Amino acid sequence: MNQEEHTFKRFDQELAALNNTVMRMGGMVEDQIAKAMASLRDADIEGARSIVARDHVVNFLDVQADEQIMNLLALRQPMGKDLRMILSLGKTVTDLERIGDEAERIARMAIDIYSASSAPPSPRLLKDAYRMSSLATRMLHDVLDALARLDVDKALEVACCDAELDSEFQSALRRLSTYIMEDSRNVGHAINAIFIIKSLERIGDHSKNIAEYVIFLAKGKDVRHVSPESIDSQELDL
């Protein structure tokens, strides 16, 4: 193997290592969200505390990925699709770290709700959160799959789902506001529920962002400021 071949092989290995870090981070935040919602559903305070305690691992992977990216840019001077991959994964890492923050926030809300001296919340106060979590977690799962496979079709599907999640959020917000007006004793739990559904709505936003990075990586098209419904599939060669 000559020096040039050795350099290319090393570059490929470093790209693969970065990709592995990002996918590991994605799997971890997906697990954090599922466990945060489970702790909320099951009134599991200890489970919620373990989620808060694990957030530092997500942060560690965030820092590790940034270091890998800086080394690749500084030492390898990538171009073309390799550069797109590094830039896209770098942006993905930022969104994954923020999704991890939202999972931690939901866990903290669960701790607040069930550590309070007041009675536990009425099931109807959290009904919307459970429904929204199903869509938000599916979006994240699908976009991570799209990233792993560079599946532009699936990335577009995820981007389109964000409007549905936004609509669910607005409807849930109206219902929770009504509950507060009906009975002032609901205020504390309702406010926590509002924070939870807002976190789920943000998780959808971050998943949509990652979907846009997948499209950029696979097709070289920047669709960040274009509504998913208006993206021309023929232009993307689908």
Cα–Cα distance between 181 and 81 in angstroms, integer? 54
Mean pLDDT of the chain: 91
Q: Summarize pLDDT for 147-200 with one digit per residue, the tens.
A: 999 999 999 999 999 999 999 999 999 999 998 888 877 788 899 999 999 999
Cα–Cα distance between 81 and 86 in angstroms, integer? 9
Cα–Cα distance between 87 and 212 in angstroms, integer? 12
Q: Summarize pLDDT for 75-114 with one digit per residue, the tens.
A: 878 888 899 999 999 999 999 999 999 999 999 999 999 9
Work out the pLDDT band at 6, boundaries 50, 70, 90: very low
Q: Summarize pLDDT for 18-31 with one digit per residue, the tens.
A: 999 999 999 999 99
Q: What angle do CA 219, 224, 227 make, to 5 degrees?
A: 100
What is the value of pTM for the model shown? 0.91
Output the 3-class SS for the chain. Answer: CCHHHHHHHHHHHHHHHHHHHHHHHHHHHHHHHHHHHHHHHHCCHHHHHHHHHHHHHHHHHHHHHHHHHHHHHHHHCCCHHHHHHHHHHHHHHHHHHHHHHHHHHHHHHHHHHHHCCCCCCCHHHHHHHHHHHHHHHHHHHHHHHHHHHCCHHHHHHHHHHHHHHHHHHHHHHHHHHHHHHHCHHHHHHHHHHHHHHHHHHHHHHHHHHHHHHHHHHHHCCCCCCCCHHHCCCCCCCC
**Residue pointed to by tokens 């609901």:** 186
Top CATH class, 3-230: mainly alpha
